[in-house]
Amino acid sequence: MVKILVVEDEPGIAFSLESDLETEGYEVTMVADGAEAVSCALAGAFDLILLDVMLPHKDGFEICRELRHRGLKIPIILLTAKTQEAEKVMGLDVGADDYVTKPFSPRELRARIRARLRGALPSEPAAAQPDDVYRFGCCELDMTRFELRRNGLCLETTPTELKLLAAFVRNRGRLLTRERLLDEVWGTGIAVTDRVVDNHIVSLRKKIEDEPAAPRYLVSIRGLGYRFDA
Ligand code: CA
């Protein structure tokens, strides 16, 4: 039976998470206090942790960092009420695998949990440096193996697409003009048109976005360029 630790201090959310996950067939352990979460996570043989960010005594970022520092490798999904970009990025920098913004749909959360549980199995023995694998949504850009994975499965990509995505990840949250992207990815002095950038964006979106026509990660800034939001 798959064991999930849920760290959540709001009784209403905790209750619905517990019943929802138990209905899914998971064995659920609930903790409401930040200080308790670390010892509980280390003591139990859990397969995944759902971790609220705003908690009494110790916040989710601190808990996550501490668990990773102590060698815990299981997937951690942050539950965050804060939508600010910086906090999302910070959430990922502390070693979380994914985050879900409140209020979240139970269906979306279940899908994220399944994706993480699936992904945890094959990627477990890989010894890639954490900095070389950037995770967003259910995708992973792995610059050590030079591949893009979605739900743990390797996607077919061209080297240019990977270089383009890597440039976005390096500059996440910042506007990148087509000119800048041409310089970063194709190199200066190469005769390609802006249209080439747009075409590659379209094909990348098909690979990383749930709805390529309404992109969540690779957003267009009208008349200026693109920005990677993750
Ligand atoms: Ca909370």
Task: Identify the three-state secondary structure at position 161.
Answer: helix
Interval between CA 55 and ligand 1 midpoint (Å) = 5
Summary mean pLDDT of the chain: 86
| Lowest pLDDT segment from 8-17, 31-40, 73-82, 128-137 | 128-137
- Same CATH topology for 3-120 and 130-228: the answer is no
Interval between CA 230 and ligand 1 midpoint (Å) = 22
State the pLDDT at residue 130: 47
Interval between CA 37 and ligand 1 midpoint (Å) = 13
State the pLDDT at residue 189: 62
Interval between CA 54 and ligand 1 midpoint (Å) = 4
Interval between CA 8 and ligand 1 midpoint (Å) = 6
pLDDT digits (tens, 9 = 90+) for 172-201: 888 998 888 888 888 766 677 878 899 999
Tokens of 228: 């990677």
Residue 30 above 90 pLDDT?
yes
More confident residue, 89 or 161: 161
Interval between CA 33 and ligand 1 midpoint (Å) = 9
State the pLDDT at residue 214: 94
Interval between CA 38 and ligand 1 midpoint (Å) = 16
Interval between CA 86 and ligand 1 midpoint (Å) = 18
Interval between CA 52 and ligand 1 midpoint (Å) = 6
Q: Domain 3-120, what architecture? A: 3-Layer(aba) Sandwich (3.40)
Interval between CA 14 and ligand 1 midpoint (Å) = 10
What is d(CA 167, CA 176) in angstroms, rounded to the nearest whole number?
9
Q: List C-alpha distances in Å: 58 to 35, 74, 82, 120, 192.
A: 6, 20, 16, 26, 51
Domain map of the chain by residue range? Answer: 3-120, 130-228
What is d(CA 96, CA 65) in angstroms, rounded to the nearest whole number?
8
Interval between CA 99 and ligand 1 midpoint (Å) = 14
Interval between CA 57 and ligand 1 midpoint (Å) = 11
For the entire predicted model, the pTM comes to 0.53
Interval between CA 53 and ligand 1 midpoint (Å) = 6
What is d(CA 55, CA 37) in angstroms, rounded to the nearest whole number?
10
Output the CA torsion 202→204→209→215 (10° steps): -40
State the pLDDT at residue 226: 95
CATH code: domain 130-228 is 1.10.10.10
Average pLDDT over residues 221-230: 90
Interval between CA 45 and ligand 1 midpoint (Å) = 24
DSSP string of 112-143? HHHHHHHHHHHHTT----GGGEEEETTEEEET
Interval between CA 142 and ligand 1 midpoint (Å) = 32
